[in-house]
Amino acid sequence: MKPRVPLQNLAMPLALLGIAAFFALQESAFLGPRNLTQLIVEFSITGTLALGMFMILLTGQIDLSVGSGVGLIGGLAAVLVFHLGWPAPAALLTALAAAVVLWTLMGTLIVRQRIPSFIITLGGLLIFKGLFWLVIQNSTVPVARGDQENLYALLTTYYLPAGVGLGLAGVVAAALVVLAWRSRGARAGAGLPVRSVGREVAVQLATTAGIVGLVLVCNASRGVPLSLLVLSATAAGVYFLTQHTPFGRYLYAIGGNEEAAVLSGIAVNRVLVGAYVLMGVTVALTGFMTTAYSGASTTTVGDLMELDAIAACVIGGTALRGGRGSVAGVIFGALIMATLLNGMTLLAVSPEIKFVARGVVLTLAVWMDVKLGRK
């Protein structure tokens, strides 16, 4: 077993490196600052949705409705802004509330009626798609009027000034170093294994270099995109929730053995509904960013995004049967998916081949989860 650990740790970085190298050799613009910044925006969108799916998969459930939900919630906000003249903040909050209500109802139906989540969310996929088309009346609804950009449009078109981005990178890197050493001290005090000082320093230096390098790449184009901050905040929230709260421990416990979780006194139904509520929040955030990135709400917004989110989670080590996974793995899986889609778009790959590629990636991810049993 021990020799497998390094290989598992290197599998995702090597896969990402291989994908990036292939596209870079095919198209030199792939590694250009402009395309990399665009890739970061696309990665932020995929990653945000995948983090919501991660919490659902941890419990052993699934949600096939999120792609249609992304279109519906983004389209609802666009209609409120463009057709009804609502201020963007009010429209976004209203659409967010609608998402929370819809996913609360869906989660409640699953746990109260004991209907498999696959069936309920498959029905949700169809219902939300139909409602989406009704809301936008099968037309194209912009997210801004004329040249006036509102908060909605700025979600994927606003970039931090270079100095602000570097300052924020410094703050984040310093915070991560402090948290890492505090965690190391707590583990050592509890008698748990910890990395050596030299290895810990090397990891923190590499993390800091990665954060600063990311900001420098963004600054070479237009700056750090606002959407990356949305992803970062979402990832930090999900990490804290899953690693440092009883609710997060309950998610893992339910996915590991639901019967044992019930016997241990965990309010399983309440936790499952809570997971779906959080899924609704991430669907709303993703819907806003996806629609803003498209520049308008159209009937194709959100198509197949549920498959990208599931693939990102499984590639990152989240078990489809629940009980296993990490935020870092999901983020890495989302980066692999975003890189693959960005590269194919840059090479003008036909839609048919894109469908095949996404299907192959999803199939391989599930195969690895079932056959290799990563732990």
SS3 labels along the chain: CCCHHHHHHHHHHHHHHHHHHHHHHHCHHHHCHHHHHHHHHHHHHHHHHHHHHHHHHHCCCCCCCHHHHHHHHHHHHHHHHHCCCCCHHHHHHHHHHHHHHHHHHHHHHHHHHCCCHHHHHHHHHHHHHHHHHHHHCCCCEECCECCECCHHHHCCCCECCHHHHHHHHHHHHHHHHHHHHHHHHHHHHCCCCCCCHHHHHHHHHHHHHHHHHHHHHHHCCCCCEHHHHHHHHHHHHHHHHHHHCHHHHHHHHHHHCHHHHHHCCCCHHHHHHHHHHHHHHHHHHHHHHHHHHHCEECCCCCCCHHHHHHHHHHHCCCCCCCCCCCHHHHHHHHHHHHHHHHHHHHCCCCHHHHHHHHHHHHHHHHHHHHHHCCC
Report the distance separating Cα 6 and Cα 23, nearest Å: 26
The predicted pLDDT at position 13 comes to 81
237 and 108 in a common domain: yes
236 and 120 in a common domain: yes
At which of 203, 224, 245 does a domain end?
224
Our count of domains for the chain comes to 2
Q: Considering the domain boundaries, does residue 46 fall inside one?
A: yes
CB burial readout 9-32, b (16+ within 10 A) else e: eebbeebbeebbeebeeeeeebeb
The predicted pLDDT at position 148 comes to 56
Instruction: Say whether pTM exceeds 0.85.
Output: yes
Name the residue among 67, 14, 4, 15 with its Cα closest to residue 364: 15
302 and 347 in a common domain: yes
Q: What is the 3-state secondary structure (H, E, C) of 240-251?
A: HHHHHCHHHHHH
208 and 85 in a common domain: no
Q: How far apart are the first and last CA of the chain?
A: 10
CATH of the domain at 53: 1.10.3470
Report the distance separating Cα 288 and Cα 73, nearest Å: 7
The predicted pLDDT at position 365 comes to 77
The predicted pLDDT at position 2 comes to 40
At which of 205, 224, 243 does a domain end?
224
| Each residue's pLDDT expressed in tens, for the chain with a length of 375 residues | 343 444 456 677 888 888 899 999 998 889 888 999 999 999 999 999 999 999 999 999 999 999 999 999 999 999 999 999 899 999 999 999 999 999 999 999 999 988 899 999 999 999 999 999 999 999 999 987 655 568 898 888 899 999 999 999 999 999 988 888 888 888 888 888 888 888 888 888 988 998 999 899 899 988 999 999 999 999 999 999 999 899 999 999 999 998 899 988 899 999 999 999 999 999 999 999 999 999 999 999 999 899 999 999 998 889 888 888 999 999 999 999 999 999 999 998 888 888 898 888 888 877 776 665 544
333 and 346 in a common domain: yes
110 and 198 in a common domain: no
Q: Considering the domain boundaries, does residue 4 fall inside one?
A: no
At which of 224, 241, 260 does a domain end?
224
Report the distance separating Cα 226 and Cα 50, nearest Å: 18
Q: Considering the domain boundaries, does residue 6 fall inside one?
A: no
Q: Considering the domain boundaries, does residue 253 fall inside one?
A: yes
Give the number of residues written for the chain: 375
Q: Considering the domain boundaries, does residue 328 fall inside one?
A: yes
133 and 66 in a common domain: yes
Give the domain extent around 198: 160-224
241 and 111 in a common domain: yes
Q: Considering the domain boundaries, does residue 15 fall inside one?
A: no
The predicted pLDDT at position 189 comes to 84
71 and 141 in a common domain: yes
Q: Considering the domain boundaries, does residue 175 fall inside one?
A: yes
266 and 117 in a common domain: yes
126 and 42 in a common domain: yes
117 and 193 in a common domain: no
Q: Considering the domain boundaries, does residue 19 fall inside one?
A: no
